[in-house]
């Protein structure tokens, strides 16, 4: 049976009110062949994201309509594997238990610079050795900073973090480890990194669609050896010991207007 993720705008509710609404959903869900699995309540953003298994979007929303009348503004169908990769382990609490679980995730892309030219110049075996070094360094940083690998792109990795600050720390760790690796290497490995943050559902009705696209474009626009981040990443790191350099407005493919970006300074 398909899985669905929905979004509610709830700027003034309390964790107890959200827990009560979830209990009401669970009480009537069987009437529509739906099973509400869990929810994320991002109190600071005033957003609720419900994960449910059911026959259709309409059935999922019908549960909300009958139980408390607070219908979703957006519902998308999701794959279980994609949800786990992006969101990590879901909150698991008994119905009626009040809690908060932020829905914002930070998306990180890495990209090996000049990978095609390197393969043509050195051959497949040498290029694969460079990719293995990249994979080991990036995956080690993900493990150390609670990141989740979403997919390998061939010459880079896409990852998700529950903490925006942790994604920046991981990026700095990656670039630092690469610098140390390159000090004694015959063939250097230069990497671009892009990071963006966002909620799981936006107006384009795709799981982290806007954040994924922005992170990928920032990665492509970053200088070799640097980390480019979005405004949201910088703002969500206020109070953290990071230094950011204003890159100004960037023309990014797929975005109709120039995007303000920042570079993370080591």
Judgement on whether residues 112 and 72 belong to the same structural domain of the protein: no
Instruction: Select from 57, 87, 117 the last residue of a domain.
Output: 87
* Contacts of residue 180, Cβ cutoff 8 Å, sequence gap at least 6: none
**Does 150 lie in the same domain as 82?**
no
Do 140 and 237 lie in a common domain? Answer: yes
Query: At which of 87, 120, 143 does a domain end?
Result: 87
Do residues 176 and 217 share a domain? yes
Of 113 and 60, the structure prediction assigns the larger pLDDT to 60
- What is the predicted pLDDT for the residue at 124? 67
Query: For 33, which DSSP code?
Result: T
Mean pLDDT of 23-44: 96
93 falls within a domain: no
- Residues contacting 23, CB < 8 A, separation 6+: 95, 96
pLDDT at 62: 97
In the chain, pLDDT over 70 holds for what percent of residues? Answer: 96
CA Rg value for the chain: 21
Residues 152 and 250 in one domain: yes
Distances (CA, A) of 209 to 93, 107, 159, 205, 206: 28, 10, 14, 8, 5
Q: How confident is the model at residue 186 (pLDDT cuts 50, 70, 90)?
A: confident
What is the average pLDDT score of the chain? 93
**Rounded CA separation 110/67 (Å):** 44
188 with 132, same domain: the answer is yes
pLDDT higher than 90, residue 203:
no
The domain tally of the chain equals: 2
Same domain, 66 and 150: no
Q: Are residues 53 and 143 in the same domain?
A: no
pLDDT at position 125 is 75
pLDDT in tens, 62-94: 999 999 998 999 999 999 999 999 999 999 999
CA distance 101 to 238: 20
The half-sphere exposure of 128 on its side-chain side, counting CA atoms within 13 A, is: 3
Tens of pLDDT, residues 108-161:
999 998 766 766 676 667 778 888 999 999 999 999 999 999 999 989 999 999
Q: Is 96 inside any structural domain?
A: no
Return the minimum-mean-pLDDT range out of 168-182, 197-211, 230-244. Answer: 197-211
> What is the pLDDT confidence band of residue 266, given thresholds at 50, 70 and 90?
confident
Structure tokens at 262: 């920042």
97 occurs within a structural domain: no
Answer with the residue of higher pLDDT: 156 or 184. 156
Cβ pair 264, 172 in contact under 8 A: yes
Residue 169 pLDDT more than 90?
yes
Here the CATH number for the domain that contains residue 71 is: 3.30.70.3090
- Residue 100 included in any domain: no
Q: Is 62 within a domain?
A: yes
User: Domain for residue 182, yes or no?
Assistant: yes
Please check whether residues 129 and 51 belong to one and the same domain. Answer: no
Please check whether residue 168 is in contact with residue 195, taking contact to mean a CB–CB distance below 8 angstroms.
yes
Do 119 and 219 share a domain, yes or no?
Answer: yes
Residue for token digits 């909620």?
199
Q: Domain boundary residue among 43, 58, 87? A: 87
CA distance 204 to 198: 13
Helix 124-144 and helix 164-183, axial crossing angle in degrees, nearest 10:
140
Structural domain range at position 246: 105-265
Same domain, 16 and 76: yes
What is the CATH classification number for the domain harbouring 208? 3.30.70.1230
In a domain, 50, yes or no: yes
**Class of residue 50 by CB neighbours under 10 A (exposed 0-12, middle 13-18, buried 19+):** buried
Q: For residue 66, is it within any domain?
A: yes
Residues 78 and 160 both lie in one domain: no
Cα end-to-end span (Å), the chain: 47
């Amino acid at each position: 049976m398909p899985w669905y993720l929905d979004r509610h705008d709830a700027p003034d509710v309390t964790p107890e009110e959200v827990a009560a609404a979830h209990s009401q959903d669970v009480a009537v869900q069987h009437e529509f062949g739906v099973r509400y699995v869990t929810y994320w309540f991002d109190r600071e953003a005033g957003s609720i994201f419900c994960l449910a298994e059911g026959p259709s979007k309409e059935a999922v929303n019908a549960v909300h309509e009958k139980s408390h009348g607070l219908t979703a503004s957006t519902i998308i169908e999701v794959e279980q594997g994609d949800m786990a990769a992006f969101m990590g382990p879901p909150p698991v609490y008994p119905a009626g238990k009040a809690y908060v679980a932020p829905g914002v995730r930070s998306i990180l892309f890495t990209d090996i610079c000049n990978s095609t030219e390197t393969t043509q110049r050195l051959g497949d075996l040498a290029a694969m050795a460079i990719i293995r070094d990249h994979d080991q360094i990036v995956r080690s940083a993900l493990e150390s900073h609670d990141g989740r690998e979403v997919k390998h792109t061939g010459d880079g990795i896409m990852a998700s973090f529950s903490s925006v600050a942790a994604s920046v720390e991981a990026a700095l760790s990656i670039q630092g480890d690469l610098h140390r690796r390159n000090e004694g290497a015959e063939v250097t490995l230069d990497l671009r990194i892009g990071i963006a943050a966002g909620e799981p559902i936006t107006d384009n009705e795709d799981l982290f669609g806007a954040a994924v696209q922005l992170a990928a474009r920032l990665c492509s626009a970053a200088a070799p050896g640097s980390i480019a981040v979005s405004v949201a990443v910088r703002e969500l790191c206020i109070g953290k010991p990071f230094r950011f350099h204003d890159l100004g407005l960037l023309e990014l493919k797929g975005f109709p207007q120039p995007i303000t970006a920042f570079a993370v300074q080591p």
